[in-house]
Amino acid sequence: MATHQGSCHCGKVAFEVEGEIDSALSCNCSMCQRKGSLLWFVPRARLRLTSGEDALATYTFNKHVIRHNFCSHCGIHPFGEGIDPKGNAVAAVNIRCIEGIDLAAVPVHHYDGRSI
């Protein structure tokens, strides 16, 4: 299993995540539409914050079940956290924040979060 490094723009929030990036999700809810992130869902245990816990801020909205994490310095959203329908802790990693990947090679699935 590959380990990927990522960070916000300023580098204060950095992380490692394990797994194979086989696809990403583009959501059109009011938050994701504005952020423009491409999300890769992994079990939360596979994401490790390597720096910047003190720089991390969280925003929730609507049902307040997803924690949209962002850097309080540069504003970039490297990942979110929540619980999947089976009750498992998951991380939604913004693959745009992962170093050295070819975004054009990652299949993107579109999710209609606006209608939910």
Within-domain flag for 116: no
Which tokens belong to 103? 């975004």
- Number of separate domains in the chain: 1
- Judged by average pLDDT, the poorest of 49-53, 65-69, 104-108 is 65-69
Within-domain flag for 98: yes
Within-domain flag for 103: yes
Once rounded to an integer, what is the mean pLDDT over residues 73-85?
96
Q: 30 lies in which domain range?
A: 3-111
For the chain, how many residues are written? 116
Within-domain flag for 18: yes
SS3 40: strand
Amino acid 48: pLDDT: 98
Q: What are the CA-CA distances from residue 68 to residues 1, 20, 52, 104 (Å)?
A: 26, 22, 15, 24
Within-domain flag for 12: yes
Structure pTM? 0.93
Residue 79: which CATH number? 2.170.150.70
- Place 44 in a pLDDT band, splitting at 50, 70 and 90: very high
